[in-house]
Homo-oligomer: A and B are copies of this chain.
Amino acid sequence: MSRYIFFLFSALIIFSFRIYGQQNEISLNWEIGYHKTATETPKRWAIATVPGAVQLDVMKDENYKQPYWFADNVIQFDWMEDYFFTYKTSFKKPSMKSFEKLYFHSKGIDYAFKILCNNVLIREQEGMFTYVDLDLTPFLKEDNELKIILMPVPKTGIVYEKGTETYRQNAKESVKPAVSYGWDWHPRLVTRGIWDETFLVVRNQSHIKDVSVSYILNEELTNVDLQVNIDGENLSGNNFRWILRNSQGETILEKKQTLLSDNVTFNASVPNPELWWPHDYGTPYLYTSELYVVDSKNKLLSEEIQKIGFRKIKLVMNDEAWIDPRFPRSRPEVPTAIEINNKRIFAKGSNWVHPEIFVGLISADLYERQLLLAKEANFNILRVWGGGIVNKESFFEICDREGILVWQEFPLACNNYGDDVEYLNVLKQEATSIINRVKKHPCLAIWSGGNELFWNGMTDQSLPLRLLNSLCYQLDPYTPYINTSPLFGMGHGHYLFYDKEIDENVFDWMPKTRKTAYTEFAVSGASNMSVLESFIPSEDLFPPKTNTAWEIHHGIGAWQQDSWLEIPTLKKYFGEIESLEELVKYSQLLQCEGLKFIYEEARRQRPHCSMALNWCFQEPWPSAANNSLINWPNEIKPAYYHVKNACRPVLLSVYVPKFEWNENEEFSCELYLLNDTYDQLEPTNVKILLQYDGDKEIELLTWNFPGGNSFQNVRGPKASINLPRINNNLFTVKVLVENHEEYNSSYVFLYNNKNVNKVFPAIEYYNGEFLFGYNEVF
């Protein structure tokens, strides 16, 4: 066969495979019911949506108040925690060839369950992250019934008592995400059910179960040594054909071989690979690995096609990280600087919580909309926080494609997970499944044991963390692993614009802090007006009160007494709050200016600092006030745009030592050119203007910026003036850059005199027209 004809032929085969691959999945119609004890059967069956959640199915069937997020409707679900739920479905035996088998496949059943086929127990499992893949063939009749019985939700640790105890203690010694037991932005709502794709599938008895492509990229980045592991059933005697395509779809490598067992490994090399980069440092090149198993007559039996990418990722020591050079000497701060493909980056991003309280409702489309927002915000990394789920495959596929790094935590958060042998067994099973799935994605940057575990009684000696480190080492050694965040040198917090306990705000504490990585910090902001109106009964909208939707939705008494609305702070800076509009605008103003200050200050602290991630990106249900940048379901808060600007690869940043100013005070500011890119910057002219009372303007300084080196900040000049009398309570500082408008910045400050006029920051820019900070105040 000529080369040309062979390629033509193989293209045809691939095309036919694809069709075959889509045809053999059979979807199912499910019903659901609940019962108090394991031996009972449900008294009533409702239609079940799969994937979905047991709560939503009952809500629809029994005419619960809707929508579930309105006011206090969520409490309707409370009773369900202690019930068993049974899913059932019936199906005819599909027509199958003698060499075919029928499998039941589910990518996620939450949380502990039994599966019965025609009343035969075929699987018991604890854990929502281990795929279920069961050969039903031996149990099949003409008419079949499949049942999935969910156990009540696990409740370990202290007893849950609303109002007196932290709810999430109930999540101890379970691998169920802790967040659903209640958090300061999440009601106690222990969702569960079939939460990811679930179907029947007909397979040839000879089929691939898994293909894993591991690799070592050499120091010089000029060669990849691949190892491909094929795991399957009844493969022996058949042949495989493996193709590696580059990002253009061109075949780079090809291999054909007879399979001698069900577990086959082979090696290959890719010279001069196109590397996977986070989007702001290069192109996230992806290759395609295609594995086909064919029989002796070249008939396709099974296939596995996956995107792969090549990158070398490390956590390296931060510069100047040695803090204790004198004897008795301890150790330096842990390495938190991300080095990818031998280049250090400044990691900018956010903490990702799941975007919908009912995780079964999360679609690839929702992931895509939010991940594109993250990318547009100049984020190159997301910390997938250990209180939530490990996301579905589409999340990682989009991150791979868009060049967004993922810091993936295991499902441990804010509990003292103990050394109990049964818990360790479940954790081992779940972590193994998670690692083997997620390690295939080049976007994976860091494994982490979970969130704030060293604040809750766990230590480096805790066996769950030693287990996770060990599993990651064994299964994915070249991806960094940390036990938890924060570690020595890293920081979580602060979570307030102004802390009355210590009488300090963001502008006070942040510049005197020196952390290697700010992996959580927050300033809360009220939700957008339209969001508030969507779940607060109109009569409760203003003023906010306890025992209303304001409290249930975490505007009051959530973390501390005043969080997250922080009305005393608003009063301190802006006087009595007279309307909902005033509340929202001033609250959001503090979030905008506070977060901008922290991100830019973290960048000014480079190279000692290497990372800045705010808490948090989005929220799983509509909050009254929250630290998120995105309101549920996908409403952008003003702070998003300010953070986006603070994270531009290059910008002119102004350091101003405080937020609140008075007449005749010496107002000082200092310029910094922040450059996270590897570009050399050309010389230009920069000026700083102070604008106030609508049209008044003072030029504070000009700077002949001499140009800058790659990946280096440049400290500019300092200016100061005696503040004039200002009539409004806000004024603006703007930085204008000649020929580089995209580097411009602006900041709003508080002028806090008697008899000042209250004005609001301009907010028109919230809908996409926003450029570089507040244009004006009025």
Within A193-240, which residues are at the interface with B (CB < 8 Å)? none
Task: Write out the residue numbers on chain B whose beta carbons fall within 8 Å of the beta carbon of A489.
Answer: 330
What are 22 A-B pairs with beta-carbon distances under 8 A?
Answer: A315-B459, A327-B491, A327-B493, A328-B493, A328-B494, A328-B518, A328-B521, A329-B455, A329-B491, A329-B493, A330-B488, A330-B490, A330-B491, A331-B454, A331-B455, A332-B454, A334-B459, A466-B477, A469-B470, A469-B473, A470-B470, A488-B488
Q: Is the CB of B460 within 8 A of A334?
A: yes
Q: Is the CB of B459 within 8 A of A492?
A: no
Q: Cα distance A495–B326 when bound, in Å?
A: 11
Q: Is the CB of A461 within 8 A of B314?
A: yes
Task: Write out the residue numbers on chain B whose beta carbons fall within 8 Å of the beta carbon of A461.
Answer: 314-316, 335, 480-481
Q: Is the CB of B459 within 8 A of A335?
A: yes
Task: Write out the residue numbers on chain B whose beta carbons fall within 8 Å of the beta carbon of A469.
Answer: 466, 469-470, 473
Q: Cα distance A314–B459 when bound, in Å?
A: 11
Given A515-B328, A515-B330, A473 and B466 touching (CB < 8 A)?
Answer: yes
Q: Cα distance A331–B493 when bound, in Å?
A: 12
Task: Write out the residue numbers on chain B whose beta carbons fall within 8 Å of the beta carbon of A495.
Answer: 327
| Cβ of A733 under 8 Å from chain B | no
Given A314-B461, A459-B317, A486 and B329 touching (CB < 8 A)?
Answer: yes
Within A303-338, which residues are at the interface with B (CB < 8 Å)? 314-317, 326-332, 334-335
Task: Write out the residue numbers on chain B whose beta carbons fall within 8 Å of the beta carbon of A518.
Answer: 328
| Cβ of A298 under 8 Å from chain B | no
Q: Cα distance A492–B1 when bound, in Å?
A: 71
Within A451-504, which residues are at the interface with B (CB < 8 Å)? 454-455, 459-461, 463, 466-467, 469-470, 472-474, 477, 480-482, 484, 486-495, 499, 502
Which residue on B lies nearest to A514, using beta carbons? Answer: B328
Given A317-B459, A473-B466, A488-B488, A509 and B327 touching (CB < 8 A)?
Answer: yes
Max chain B C-beta neighbours (<10 A), residue from A327, A469, A489? A327
Which residue on B lies nearest to A446, using beta carbons? Answer: B461
Task: Write out the residue numbers on chain B whose beta carbons fall within 8 Å of the beta carbon of A480.
Answer: 461
| Cβ of A513 under 8 Å from chain B | yes
- Nearest CB of B to A731, in Å: 29
Q: Mark A517-560, 1 if CB is under 8 A from B, else 0.
A: 01001000000000000000000000000000000000000000
Q: Is the CB of A331 within 8 A of B470?
A: no
Which residue on B lies nearest to A459, using beta carbons? Answer: B335
Task: Write out the residue numbers on chain B whose beta carbons fall within 8 Å of the beta carbon of A490.
Answer: 330-331
Task: Write out the residue numbers on chain B whose beta carbons fall within 8 Å of the beta carbon of A515.
Answer: 328, 330
Given A317-B459, A470-B473, A480-B461, A486 and B454 touching (CB < 8 A)?
Answer: no
Q: Cα distance A495–B328 when bound, in Å?
A: 9
Which residue on B lies nearest to A518, using beta carbons? Answer: B328
Q: Cα distance A636–B486 when bound, in Å?
A: 47
Q: Is the CB of A330 within 8 A of B460?
A: no
Q: Is the CB of B315 within 8 A of A486?
A: no
Q: Cα distance A466–B326 when bound, in Å?
A: 28
- Nearest CB of B to A454, in Å: 4
Q: Cα distance A771–B152 when bound, in Å?
A: 68
Q: Cα distance A495–B460 when bound, in Å?
A: 28
Q: Cα distance A491–B326 when bound, in Å?
A: 10
Task: Write out the residue numbers on chain B whose beta carbons fall within 8 Å of the beta carbon of A335.
Answer: 459-461
Task: Write out the residue numbers on chain B whose beta carbons fall within 8 Å of the beta carbon of A491.
Answer: 327-330
Q: Cα distance A315–B474 when bound, in Å?
A: 25
Q: Mark A592-628, 1 if CB is under 8 A from B, else 0.
A: 0000000000000000000000000000000000000
Which residue on B lies nearest to A489, using beta carbons? Answer: B330
Task: Write out the residue numbers on chain B whose beta carbons fall within 8 Å of the beta carbon of A473.
Answer: 463, 466-467, 469-470
Q: Mark A429-442, 1 if CB is under 8 A from B, else 0.
A: 00000000000000
Q: Cα distance A484–B327 when bound, in Å?
A: 17
Within A39-86, which residues are at the interface with B (CB < 8 Å)? none
- Nearest CB of B to A221, in Å: 16
- Nearest CB of B to A522, in Å: 10
- Nearest CB of B to A419, in Å: 8
Task: Write out the residue numbers on chain B whose beta carbons fall within 8 Å of the beta carbon of A494.
Answer: 327-328
Knowing that A327-B499, A460-B482, A470-B474 are A-B contacts, what are 18 other residue pairs whose CB atoms are under 8 Å apart, sorted by A's residue number? Answer: A317-B459, A326-B502, A327-B492, A327-B495, A327-B509, A328-B492, A329-B492, A329-B493, A330-B488, A330-B489, A330-B491, A330-B515, A331-B487, A331-B488, A334-B459, A463-B473, A466-B481, A469-B473
Given A335-B461, A469-B470, A486 and B330 touching (CB < 8 A)?
Answer: yes
Q: Cα distance A455–B491 when bound, in Å?
A: 23
Q: Cα distance A493–B330 when bound, in Å?
A: 9
Q: Cα distance A509–B315 when bound, in Å?
A: 34
- Nearest CB of B to A482, in Å: 7
- Nearest CB of B to A467, in Å: 6
Within A551-602, which residues are at the interface with B (CB < 8 Å)? none
Q: Cα distance A88–B486 when bound, in Å?
A: 58
- Nearest CB of B to A455, in Å: 7
Q: Cα distance A579–B455 when bound, in Å?
A: 58
- Nearest CB of B to A329, in Å: 5
Which residue on B lies nearest to A453, using beta carbons? Answer: B331
Task: Write out the residue numbers on chain B whose beta carbons fall within 8 Å of the beta carbon of A488.
Answer: 330-331, 488
Task: Write out the residue numbers on chain B whose beta carbons fall within 8 Å of the beta carbon of A460.
Answer: 334-335, 482, 487
Task: Write out the residue numbers on chain B whose beta carbons fall within 8 Å of the beta carbon of A459.
Answer: 315-317, 334-335
Q: Cα distance A484–B482 when bound, in Å?
A: 16
Q: Is the CB of A513 within 8 A of B328?
A: yes
Task: Write out the residue numbers on chain B whose beta carbons fall within 8 Å of the beta carbon of A463.
Answer: 473, 477
Which residue on B lies nearest to A516, using beta carbons? Answer: B330
Task: Write out the residue numbers on chain B whose beta carbons fall within 8 Å of the beta carbon of A315.
Answer: 459, 461
Task: Write out the residue numbers on chain B whose beta carbons fall within 8 Å of the beta carbon of A481.
Answer: 461, 466
Task: Write out the residue numbers on chain B whose beta carbons fall within 8 Å of the beta carbon of A470.
Answer: 469-470, 473-474
Q: Cα distance A466–B486 when bound, in Å?
A: 19
Task: Write out the residue numbers on chain B whose beta carbons fall within 8 Å of the beta carbon of A502.
Answer: 326
Q: Cα distance A330–B490 when bound, in Å?
A: 6
Which residue on B lies nearest to A521, using beta carbons? Answer: B328
Which residue on B lies nearest to A468, using beta carbons? Answer: B473
Q: Cα distance A632–B687 when bound, in Å?
A: 73
- Nearest CB of B to A331, in Å: 4
Task: Write out the residue numbers on chain B whose beta carbons fall within 8 Å of the beta carbon of A467.
Answer: 473
Q: Cα distance A50–B446 when bound, in Å?
A: 50
Task: Write out the residue numbers on chain B whose beta carbons fall within 8 Å of the beta carbon of A482.
Answer: 460
> What 9 A-B pairs come out closest when comparing CB atoms?
A328-B491, A327-B493, A327-B494, A470-B470, A331-B454, A466-B473, A470-B473, A488-B488, A335-B459
Q: Cα distance A488–B331 when bound, in Å?
A: 6
Task: Write out the residue numbers on chain B whose beta carbons fall within 8 Å of the beta carbon of A477.
Answer: 463, 466
Within A112-131, which residues are at the interface with B (CB < 8 Å)? none
Which residue on B lies nearest to A491, using beta carbons? Answer: B328
Max chain B C-beta neighbours (<10 A), residue from A326, A328, A486, A499? A328
